Structures are given as structure tokens and as C-alpha cells.
Structure 1
Amino acid sequence: PEGEVVVRTLLGRRRTTDRYTEKLNTPVQGTGADGLKMALALLWENRGLLWGAFPVLAVHDEVVLEAPEEGAKEYLETLTALMRRGMEEVLGGAVPVEVEGGIYRDWGATPWEEA
């Protein structure tokens, strides 16, 4: 509709806007942000599973961890499981959640290969 309206994410966060694109994008992008925040909370609660690893960046739908090479695959499996669980909690099982991850020597440019 024309004029100012209140739009919400699936978790109920509100945004008052009169911009058409924000009216359309807020429910989707805001819900994605809710899922990322939930994943970060789960990451904190389960930090014992990621001993030696620590988050260095979280933006949009991405989390970057720095971790020792030993156990890198297990860290990746744990992180992707926590991210999936966080988004599933937000979506309530309404749609399947897919999470992709990778292991890199730097922040995403040089693929890691086991020796």
C-alpha cells in the first residue's frame, strides 16, 4: 500500500517505512538476519565444541571462523550444523534450510587442502 506501514520479520522485529523496496525486502532480509543472529547465539552457547576456533566476521548470511588446521573439517561441520539449526528455529520447519561452507587458508580466496 501507499504511505507508511509497519513490516515485520518472522520473529516479529518491526520496521516502519514508506519505501516500496523496504516493504518487500524487510520480511525476507530481516528474517535472514534473525537466522544469522540465532546462529551466532548458538555458536556462543556451543563454543566448547569449537575449542581453538573463534569468529572474526559475521555479515549478511556468512560467518568466518579462524581455527587451527587440525580439526578444520570438524569445525566446519559444527559451524554449518549450528547455522542450519539457527535458521530452522527462525523458520519453524516451514522450508528446508541449506548451508554451504568451506575451508580456506585466508578469508575465502585460497582453498585449503589437507597435506
Structure 2
Amino acid sequence: MTPLNDLTYRQRSEYLLDMSLLGDAIQDALNPRRINYSIYGNTDTFLHAHVFPRYEWEPEERKTMPVWQYPKTMWTLQQYQYSETENGDMRKRISEKLDERMQSAYSS
């Protein structure tokens, strides 16, 4: 595993910029109230990040808590899993916004 701190400064900048561009794309496409970012390295042996949109419609008691505090069933039940049929348009909107953000960020 390569921890974030083992990357060069340039690699760190690019990694964190890419993560924030994804957050921007999600913000543009879905209009959540905020975006939460998490980088963990406890179990997976590769550098990765989690980018979570947070919404006004979430239960009040959950709004200030990490998404990991939702019940385990929210992460495992089929009804909450990604489905191209149900979520494909959302994925497409995010992808289009991400392409726009990346072109803007990397063409400067």
C-alpha cells in the first residue's frame, strides 16, 4: 500500500485535486447540502478515497455523523445497492460534470 504521505508533493496535490473535482461534479449534478471526504487505509491495501454527498432529507440525528454510522443493513441490502437501471442517469450526470471539471482544471 502506498499511503498518501509516501507520495511526492506533486502526487499528493494531484490526488487530492482529483478527489475534490469528483466532489465538485457530485455537487453540480446532485446538489447535496455538502460533500464529505474520507481517506482510509485500515483494511484495503491501496490508496483510495470515499466521497459522500450529504442531503437535507437525511434524518436529523444522522446529519452530523459520518455515513459509516448508518446501520449496517444500509450498506448491504439489495435495495441500497447500485443499479444501472435505477442509478445510471445519475452516474452519467456525475461523469459529464467530472469531465467538465477535469478539462477546466487540467487545461489551465
- TM-score normalised according to structure 1 size: 0.37
- TM-score normalised according to structure 2 size: 0.39
Comparing both structures, which one devotes a greater share of its residues to helix?
2
Q: Which of structures 1 and 2 has the bigger CA Rg?
A: 1
